[in-house]
Amino acid sequence: MKNTNALPLQILEILRQHPDQEHLISMPELQAILESEGFPSNRRTVYRAIEILREYNYDIRYEFHKFYSGYYLLPYFNEAEHFILSDYLNQQTTLSNQEVSTIQAKLQTLASPYHSFKRKPRAHTNNQDILSNIKLILHAIKHSYQISFYYFDYTISKEKKYRKNKKRYILTPYAVTSYEGKYYCVLYSEKYQSFTNYRIDKMETIRLIEQPVETIAFNLDEHLQTSMKMYAGKAETITIKCTTDMASIIQDEFGSHMIISEVKDNSFTVSLKTAITPTLLSWLLLFYNRVTVIQPAELKEKLLTIANTVIDTY
């Protein structure tokens, strides 16, 4: 006969397979399973073990029905929560298939065994170091350490081409964030006194510089306002005139950090703070007949240059 001290944990493992009113386990059934596994099945001992689990915040419930009754363990994540987390994880394309599978398996232990979502797997990176690199970066942020790393892009032949002639970057990390299935590290350069976003799957051989440095005030939400689609730059006030059907699109793209200064029947004028980046230019060009830039002049000139280049090309 096994040690009764392990009885609560054994009951917990059994109850994980009974997550709702449709999958109840009666006391006699629970006793029979425990008996077959070498655990005492005295009702009082089982009741006490269940109470111990409840004291540790396991939501164990007992249901009475007309023809049957029994216990079930409410999962930590319900079906909708499990779906959202599982789906979000599957979208993180910079994680490898192995990393996704490992985390999915851990997530499954906190959800109902009957809530398993089968979906077509997305293309994931072959880079097996993303999680370990994120762990390293978070450690550096916690202790105000700098990190050094190589940074690369891919050529047309899918080979790595290192920036700075493969000289190591030495920068201070401030945050880890994600966008469209990719993870980014927000790093600060003392040399340029500015923040820049680097894709973690393109950061190679990350090393800690275990010497704390003095950090500056940083707000991730404010930084992301000037990082349209993760292209960072100096925040500027941009004023644009939009057709009224752009209201929802503007709200989705820039959130509540904008000021509407004029509203007419068919248009409205809005000012917002963002950086003049390639992604901002492409976004404005996407809505070329619905958005007109009023200021700054620099932005208007950049758009005019693009327009003339297109004319010359075609």
Domains of the chain: which residue ranges? 4-73, 79-108, 130-218, 231-313
Contacts 24+ apart (CB under 8 A), 85-93: 86/117, 87/117, 87/119, 90/119, 90/121, 90/122, 91/122, 91/181, 92/124, 92/178, 92/181, 92/182, 92/183, 93/122, 93/123, 93/124, 93/125, 93/181, 93/182
Q: Note whether 4-73 and 231-313 share their fold.
A: no
* pLDDT (0 to 100) of residue 30: 93
Quick count: other Cβ atoms within 10 Å of Cβ 74?
13
Which CATH number applies to 4-73?
1.10.10
Q: Which of these, 128, 173, 127, lies nearest to 149 by C-alpha position?
A: 173
What does the DSSP 8-state code read for residue 5? G
| CATH topology classification for 231-313 | Alpha-Beta Plaits (3.30.70)
CA distance 104 to 56: 25
Which amino acid would we find at residue 268? F
What pTM value is reported for the model? 0.65
Which CATH number is 130-218's, of 2.30.30, 3.40.50, 3.30.200, 2.60.40? 2.30.30
Stretches where the chain sits below pLDDT 50 are none
